Amino acid sequence: MKPATLFTLMASGALAAATPAIPGYSARARGTTTPQQHVPLRLLHTFTPISTVTGKGNSRLFASSSSSKESTKGGAVLALPNNNLSTAQATIRIPAAKMPTAGPTANNTVGEYAASFWVGIDSATDACADSGAGSLRAGVDIFWDGTLGGQQRPFAWYQGPGQAGEVGFDEGFSVAEGDVVRFTLEAGAAGPDGKEVEAVAVVAENFGRNVSRVIRKNAVPVKRVRQVLPAEAGGKRLCRGEAAWMVEDFPLQGRPEFPTALVNFTSVTFNAGVVLDDGKEMDLTDAEVLDIRLEAQGGRLTSCEVVGGAKVRCARVVRDD
Ligand SMILES: *[C@@H]1O[C@H](CO)[C@@H](O)[C@H](O)[C@H]1NC(C)=O
Ligand SMILES: *[C@@H]1O[C@H](CO)[C@@H](O)[C@H](O)[C@H]1NC(C)=O
Ligand SMILES: *[C@@H]1O[C@H](CO)[C@@H](O)[C@H](O)[C@H]1NC(C)=O
Ligand SMILES: *[C@@H]1O[C@H](CO)[C@@H](O)[C@H](O)[C@H]1NC(C)=O
C-alpha cells in the first residue's frame, strides 16, 4: 500500500503553511540564513541494529526474512560467530548524488536528499548486543540540496566503540564525487591468551578519481589518515562478530524522526575485504543481503547483491515488492 499523500515541494512561506508537508521530506525552513552562512547538511548516524535470530550456530537477519519489514539499511552482513574478525575493508567510488525521478520523493526541486555508504564491525545487527558490544564504522555521505543548486560535497566520517556521534575526517581528508576511497577498520587480533586486543583503528585512503575501483593492496593513495581509537569507550568494546557493507538512509541531524529522502546514487559497488585473526581472508559467500524498504518513499529502494564473493553491489530503485 502506498501513502495517498505525497510530500509537498514548498520550501517556506504562506504556501508551505497552507500545504502541510510530510516532515522530513520538505526543505528546511532556513529563516533569514543566507547561502554563505549555510551549515552543510549532515546525517545523524544512529545505531539501529537489525534483529537477528540465532540458531544452529548461525544467525539469520529478521529484516531480510520478512519483506514487509521496514529497513533503513541495504547491503550485506557477514556473521563471524567465532568472534575472530580482525579487519574489514571497503573500497568504493563515491557516487554522484542526483534527485530521484521516480517514486513518491521524485522531482522535489527544493528538496534535500542524502545517502550514506559505510563499512562496519558489529554495526548492523544486534548479534553482540548481549555483551554490550560497541560498534566501529566508517563511510561517506552524499547530499543533494535543491535550495543550494543540487549536489553537495560528500562527507567522510568514522565512529568508534562507545561513540554516540560521528567524527568527520574533514581536516586533511576531503573527498569528492568520483573519488575512489578505501576504508579499513582494524579491530585488532586477539593475543595468545585470546583476550588482549590490539588497538582499534580506522584507516581512510583517497585514491582520487583517475583510478579503477579495484585498488592494489599496496597502492599509494593521494591522501591517507589513520585514526587510532580507544578499544573501549563508555564501557563498550567490539565483539568482532560481524562485518557489514551498507547503504543507509539516516535521518538528518536536527530531524531525527524520519529517514531523509534517499538520494539517487544510481549504484554503488563495495569491494569488500575481511581478514580473520589468523591472517586468513574470508569471502562474502555466506553474507546475508538486505534492501532498504521504506513504504513512505515507495517501497523497496535498493537492489543489493553479493557479486563473486568479494563485492556488494546496490542499485537505487523504486519497487513495489
Ligand atoms: C574464524 O571463524 C570462522 C567462522 O566464522 C572459521 O571458519 C575460522 O576457522 C575461524 N578462524 C580462526 C582463526 O579462529
Ligand atoms: C537514477 O538515475 C539513473 C541515471 O543515472 C536513472 O536511470 C534512474 O532511473 C534514477 N533512479 C531514480 C529512482 O530516480
Ligand atoms: C520527474 O521528472 C522527470 C523529468 O522531467 C520525468 O521523466 C519523471 O516522470 C518525473 N517523475 C515523476 C514521478 O513525476
Ligand atoms: C585525471 O584525468 C583527467 C582526464 O584525463 C586529467 O585532466 C586530470 O588532470 C587527471 N587528474 C589527476 C589528479 O591526475
Tally of CA atoms within 13 A in the half-sphere of 92 that contains its CB: 30
What pLDDT score was predicted for residue 194? 53
pTM (2 d.p.): 0.86
Q: What is the mean pLDDT of residues 224-253?
A: 90
Read off the C-alpha cell for 123: 554495526
Q: Is there a catalytic annotation at residue 248?
A: yes
3 has pLDDT over 50:
no
d(CA 8, CA 122): 38
d(CA 144, CA 126): 31
d(CA 288, CA 188): 24
Residue 23 C-alpha to ligand 4 middle, in angstroms? Answer: 42
What pLDDT score was predicted for residue 292? 96
What pLDDT score was predicted for residue 234? 78
What pLDDT score was predicted for residue 212? 80
What pLDDT score was predicted for residue 65? 44
Mean of the per-residue pLDDT values for the chain? 82
Residue whose CA is at the smallest distance from ligand 4 atom 6: 210
pLDDT band (50, 70, 90) for residue 63: very low
d(CA 250, CA 256): 9
d(CA 137, CA 117): 10
In this predicted model, what pLDDT tens digit does every residue of 18-59 receive, in sequence order? Answer: 233 333 444 444 444 444 456 789 999 988 888 765 443 445
Residue whose CA is at the smallest distance from ligand 4 atom 11: 210
Catalytic residue, from 112, 205, 248, 288: name it: 248
What pLDDT score was predicted for residue 14? 29
Higher-pLDDT residue of 214 and 72 is 72
d(CA 63, CA 51): 7
Ligand nearest to the CA of 80: 1
pLDDT band (50, 70, 90) for residue 139: very high
R_g (Cα) of the chain, nearest Å: 20
Residue 208 C-alpha to ligand 4 middle, in angstroms? Answer: 9
- Within 131-266, strands assigned E span 136-145, 150-151, 155-159, 167-168, 180-186, 200-206, 223-229, 232-233, 236-237, 242-248, 251-252, 255-259, 261-262
273 has pLDDT over 80:
yes
What pLDDT score was predicted for residue 281? 95
Ligand 3: residue of 101, 105, 109, 144 to mutate (most ligand atoms within 8 A of CB) is: 101
CATH numbers and ranges of domains, the chain: 3-32+46-319 (2.60.120.700)
∠ CA 161-277-130 to the nearest 5 degrees? 40
Dihedral of alpha carbons 164, 273, 144, 174, sign: positive
Read off the C-alpha cell for 154: 560528500
What pLDDT score was predicted for residue 26? 45
Ligand nearest to the CA of 107: 3
11 has pLDDT over 50:
no
Residue 176 C-alpha to ligand 4 middle, in angstroms? Answer: 14
Read off φ and ψ for residue 295, nearest 5 degrees. -55, -40
Residue 109 C-alpha to ligand 1 middle, in angstroms? Answer: 50
Residue whose CA is at the smallest distance from ligand 2 atom 12: 100
196 has pLDDT over 60:
no
190 has pLDDT over 70:
no
What pLDDT score was predicted for residue 319? 96
Read off the C-alpha cell for 229: 581509537
∠ CA 85-90-94 to the nearest 5 degrees? 160
What pLDDT score was predicted for residue 253? 92
pLDDT band (50, 70, 90) for residue 114: very high
What pLDDT score was predicted for residue 2? 37
Read off the C-alpha cell for 49: 541494529
In this predicted model, what pLDDT tens digit does every residue of 165-177 receive, in sequence order? Answer: 778 886 778 999 9
62 has pLDDT over 70:
no
d(CA 202, CA 3): 41
In this predicted model, what pLDDT tens digit does every residue of 309-318 receive, in sequence order? Answer: 999 999 999 9
Residue entry with cell 503553511: 17
Q: What is the mean pLDDT of residues 75-98?
A: 95
Residue 130 C-alpha to ligand 2 middle, in angstroms? Answer: 41
Ligand 4: residue of 174, 209, 210, 211 to mutate (most ligand atoms within 8 A of CB) is: 210
Tell me which DSSP letter residue 281 carries: B
What pLDDT score was predicted for residue 293? 96
Higher-pLDDT residue of 234 and 207 is 207
* Residue from 67, 80, 169 nearest 118 by CA: 169
Read off the C-alpha cell for 200: 582499534
296 has pLDDT over 80:
yes
> Residue 317: helix, strand or coil by DSSP?
strand
